[in-house]
Each structure stands twice: as C-alpha cells, then as structure tokens.
Chain A
C-alpha cells in the first residue's frame, strides 16, 4: 500500500504534465464543439466555458449554416469530390504497383525510381499547367478536373506504398499460380489484392482524408461556387461574414465529422496510413 503511494507521489510530475497536455489538446476542439451548439447571443456575450454553470444548447447554427449559407450543398460536394478522387488513384496505383513489383519489362526500375522522385514535387508547380489542360475540354467547370488532378497527384505516394507491400508477398505463391496457367490479371485479382487488404485499406483511408481535407487544389480546380467543398466554403464564410463563430463553428464541425468518424472507426488503418504518408 505505502509502496503504491510512494510510486504515485514520485510520478506525480508526470501525471501533472500529462494532465496539462491533455487539456491543451482537448480544450480548443471542445471549445469549437460547444460553441457550435450555442445561440448567437450567448456566443457574443459569454465564453463557451460558462456552459458549466448555465447549460443552454441549440441546433439553430446548424440549421442556419446548412440552409441559408449553402454549406449543405458543400457537404454534398465534398463527397462528390472525395469518393472518385479516392477510388481512382487506389485502383490505378494497385495495377501499377503489381506491374512494378512482379512483372518484368524494360525500364521498370528506372520508371519506379522516377515515380519516387515525383513524390517530393510540391503540387504548386503543376497546378497552373494542369488547369490549362482542362480548359479546352471544358473541365474547369465540372468535377472531372479535380478528380483527375487528385488522382495524378496522389499516385506517386500510392504506388510507393503499395509496391513496397506487394513485393513482400510470397514468391512461391505467384510462381505456382503462373505454372498453373493463371493470367496476370487473375493473379492480381485472386492473389495480390486479397492478400493486400490491410495496405490497400490504409492507403484508401489516407487518400480519403487527404482529399476531404484539401483546400489548395479545391481553390484552384473548382471554379464554380456551386461546386465548392466544405474547406473552400469555410474560407468564403470567413471572408463574407468575418469571424462570425455561429456559422463558422458549425461549418467547421460538419467538416470535421467525417475525419473524426474515420479516426475512431478505422484507427488501425488510419495510424498506418498517416505515419507512412507523412511525406506528402
């Protein structure tokens, strides 16, 4: 008993430090969440922390921001932009990674090295010429432009991640399938993809969050205000209404919901994807 007590006392600085850290990392997001459920009058007159003494909540801000300020459409747009921009690069990268990992063709290793080099190219350098490419095809006013741009810019990292995983699959399995006369496409679909579900899932989660949370590419490639995603919408709420936290807090909270759901629902894949993908 006394031993446990001395342990607790000797470790109290650690507990205090971790407590402080927990508060610093919790309070800012908690503040936003609480603010989004308070009335405009309350937000302007008292701090969000006063809900401890006078709890009073409303869904008004969400109704306002979704209804009148066009954020509802932006939420839909975010999905329309993100879903194809996630599945296209994952599919194209899976095919390519299989080629780079298991098929022999001239120049393979040089091409792969070139793709690794592309991983570090800042996307800024490609934005304007890519935009010009879409113009003659009328793609600047549609979602196709941003789908293609996200797909291309996501590929180098996606291929890097998947190829490294595919290479580690057992060689015997591939060879015996080849001897049995299985085509490459069949080997890819029946052996490589099923065995690589964890890696493909990590990549999917990573790419989904990357696109969902993107602001820069959406600012450049989505030129029709009706089509802008939540991140751009938050920027325009700020420039239209200034620091009006009734609308801002609700819009930001809506934007955060999908990532937070992914965080809690798919944490294993999420952590792996983020730590591997930090280079982007």
Chain B
C-alpha cells in the first residue's frame, strides 16, 4: 500500500509538466501536421488536400525554392547559405579566439567582450548592425570606412546580392561567443603534460594546434556545430528586424516564410507545411544530438 502511494506521488510530481506539454506542445504539433494537409484558410481546418501544399512549396513557390536560376534562389537556398556560413564562421572564429586568448594575460577581458552579445536579443543585435550598415557614410561605420578608402557607399541591406551575407555577419558576431567559451573551457582541460611533451619534442605552435588541440576538443567542436545548425534552421528574429525578408523576398529563410504565410497571409495549411518541413529538417539532427548528450559532461 505504501509503495503504491509512493508510485502515485511520483506521477503527481510530474503531472503539471506533463499536462502543459501535452496541451501546448504535443497536441499542437499533431494538429499542425494535420493542417499541413489542408487548405487551412483563416487558420482553421477547411478542406483536406493531401500533399498539395508540400508539392507547391517545393516546386511552384519561387520565393521558397527557385531552381530555374543559377545559383538557385529562394528561402531554402538562403537557409543553405546560412547553414554553411553561420556555423562555419562561428566555430572557426571561436576556435581562433579561444586559442589566442589562452596565451595572453588579458584573456578574460577579450572573452567577456566577445561573449557579451550572447546576452543581447537578436532584435538588439539587428539594430546594432543596422547602424553599422547605414548607407550614409556620416552614420554607418562600414560606409564611413569605405568612403575613407575612396569607395562608394553600399546599401548592403537594400541589395539582393549582399543582404544575406550582411545579416549572416551580424549573426556570427552574436554567435561566436558561445563557440569561444565552450572551446576555451575544453582547451583548458587538455592536460598540460601532453602539450609540454610535444613542445620538448620540438613541435611548433601550429602543429600542437593541429595535432593535439583540435583532436582533443573534437567532441565539443561537433557539439557546438550541431547546436548552431539547429539555431540556423530556426533563425527568424534578426531577419525580421533587419530586412523583413527583403528586398523583394531576397533574404527570406524557412522560418521567415512560415511567419509570413501563417500570420501575414493567413494561409494556415501552407504555413503549416513550412513548419512541418522545419521539423523534418531538424529530425536528422536528433541522431547527431545523441552524441551531444554524451558530451554534456565535457561541456560543463
């Protein structure tokens, strides 16, 4: 009897969380999957249309995926650019700063400066970089620099060919701190004797980095990369503030398309299909994520 009451109690402690999750996360997810197979006008279930939304998204929506041009265009392709550049630059810069800072006395100052944007909202980061990119050379730092060098000012946010890179750079500025802090902690946990022994054997700084540092922190590197990839699939805030997906949809990504279709156009079925695609893109990362759970002890 006592055992049974203990069992019941265990259930009671988890019940509030389970109810919240079932009502606001599990049920909505299932409902969205159902709605992705519907016209869903006015965000209500109207008429079942099978996979038509997905078919139109992937073949007939030029703002989502346009394979007729080279390079391909559309939200998926923009997201692909993010996927390569954002984790790549954050990890590369984070590693560089962690290794360099490890060798100087003012390490904590450098690390604080680079880590600070982690506390700041993507919304605020967007405003900070809108100011840097302001087209008037008397306002924006970038164009002030360009005109000091004798160049013409560029409205990087207003041009189709520069807008994605400009926003990605702002995001990298915000995201590098995470990679740096994790790598810095991992580097400090490498036993000093190993590095010392290599140095006695005459290894250069570069070869120590290449053959000791990087292999010894390969797990944190993959963990951070996966983390940043998940962030890329969901990226929305910074684009919403910096460019509203423009000019002419040139900087839309998947999560941005979701927002406009769902809340600006009110196309529930079509927007749901975009959300379901996001989930499908994230799922393969679950497999990789299992590695992350094992690596957790290393991070902390």
Contacts and interface: CB of A to CB of B under 8 A. Distances in A.
Contacts of A106: 7
Interface of B is mostly: helix
Contact of B14 (A95, A164, A215, A230): A95
B13 A98 contact: yes
Contacts of A197: none
B26 A22 contact: no
Contacts of A1: none
B103 A14 contact: yes
Interface in A88-128: 92-93, 95-96, 98-100, 103-106, 108, 111, 115-118, 120-128
Given A128-B32, A149-B24, A274 B14 contact: no
Contacts of B258: 124
B141 A28 contact: yes
Contacts of B123: 213, 215, 230-231, 234-235, 252, 255
Interface string B280-293: 00110110010011
B245 to A, nearest CB: 13
A182 B5 CA distance: 14
B278 A95 contact: no
B259 A245 contact: no
A45 to B, nearest CB: 6
A169 interface: no
A152 B24 contact: yes
A272 B124 CA distance: 22
Interface of A is mostly: helix
A273 to B, nearest CB: 10
23 contacts: A29-B128, A31-B141, A45-B138, A47-B144, A99-B10, A103-B7, A108-B14, A118-B21, A118-B26, A120-B230, A124-B234, A125-B33, A126-B32, A129-B28, A152-B21, A184-B10, A213-B121, A235-B241, A239-B244, A245-B134, A252-B124, A255-B124, A260-B116
Interface of B: 6-14, 16-18, 20-21, 23-29, 31-33, 35, 43, 96-97, 100-101, 103-104, 106, 109-110, 113-124, 127-132, 134, 137-139, 141, 144, 173, 178, 181-182, 185, 224, 227, 230-231, 233-234, 236-237, 240-241, 244, 255, 258-259, 262-263, 268, 271-272, 274-276, 278-279, 282-283, 285-286, 289, 292-293, 296, 299-300
**Closest A-B pairs by Cβ, 3 of them:** A103-B10, A99-B13, A213-B121
Interface of A: 11, 14-15, 17-18, 21-22, 24-29, 31-32, 35, 43-47, 49, 92-93, 95-96, 98-100, 103-106, 108, 111, 115-118, 120-133, 148-149, 151-153, 155-156, 159, 164, 184, 188, 209, 212-216, 219-220, 230-231, 234-235, 238-239, 243, 245, 248-249, 251-252, 255-256, 259-260, 262-263, 270-272, 274-276, 278-279
